[in-house]
Amino acid sequence: MPAHNVVKQAAQDGSRIRGVHMTFAAPSVIELLARDVEFIYIDGEHGCFDAHDIEAACIAAELHGITVIARVPDAAGATITRFLDRGMCGVVVPHIETVEQAREVIEATYFAPLGQRSFGGSRPSFLAIADRPAHLRACNAATSLCLMIESIAGIEAAGKLAAVEGVDYLSFGMMDLAQALGHPGDPGHAEVRAAVETASTAIRAAGKRVREDFMQYAWINEVILAGSRHLLAA
C-alpha cells in the first residue's frame, strides 16, 4: 500500500514539517538527508530530472520513510500520470489560473470517484496488489495535490481554487508572479507581497493552507553553499 504522506497530513492539521527542494538528480543526497527531513521536493519543472531520475528519487525516499513530492513541468494529464506512476506521493502543479484547470488536474491526480487517474501498473510492486479497489482508495488517501499561483488571474481566483475538492494546499511562484505584476526579479516588492497576502487570506478562508503555513524547506543549492562556507571558513 502507499506510504503515509506527511505533506498531505501537515496540510490538513498544520503540523510543521521540514524538507529539501532538489534541483538535480542525487539519490545518495536523499539518503544522506534522511535523518533530518520529513519530505523531499523534486523540481520537475526547472530542475534536471528524467523519468529514471524521478523513479530513483522515489526509491531512495521510500527506503528511508521520507515523503517525496514533485513539481511537475505542466498540468497535462499525461505528465501528472508519469510522475505519480514513478512513485511520487504528491504533485505540485504550476501556473493554475482557473477552477476548470484545477478540476482537470484533479481528474489526472486521483482515481475514481474523485478523479479519473489512469492505472497502468507503474512500479513493479503493482504485481503484489491483492485488492486493487482497496489499493486505489489508499492511493487517493495518500496522494497530495498543490496548485501553484503565478499570475494575476491566479491571485484573483485563489479562494475559488482552494475551495475545489481534492486540493490540499496552494503555493506561490514568486518570481513569475512578480513578473506578472510588473516587478520582474523583485518578489519582495510591496505590491507582490500584498497580492500574496490577499490571496493567502482567501485561501485560508476557504479552509485550506498555503505552503508556508506548515512547510520549512531549503533548496539543495543553498544547503551545499551554506555547508561549504561553514566548513571551509578560515
Average pLDDT, integer, range 59-79 = 95
Identity of the residue numbered 141 = A
Query: pTM for the whole thing?
Result: 0.93
Domains of the chain and CATH, by start: 6-157+213-231 (3.20.20.60)
pLDDT of residue 124: 65
Mean pLDDT of 116-138: 82
- What is the per-residue pLDDT across 173-226, written as a single tens digit (0 to 9) for each? 999 999 999 999 999 999 999 999 999 999 999 999 999 999 999 999 999 999
Determine the pLDDT at residue 1.
Answer: 46
Q: Which are the contacts of 215, defined by CB distance < 8 A and separation ≥ 6?
A: 7, 10, 16, 17, 18, 19, 39
Give yes or no for a contact between 57 and 25, defined as CB atoms under 8 angstroms apart.
Answer: yes
- Averaged pLDDT, 103-131: 87
Please tell me which residue in 21, 46, 189, 230 is annotated as part of the active site: 46
Across the range 102-124, mean pLDDT stands at 91
pLDDT, mean of residues 68-86: 96
Look at residue 2 in the predicted model and tell me its pLDDT.
53
- Respond yes or no: is residue 46 known to be catalytic: yes
- Over range 37-41, report the average pLDDT: 97
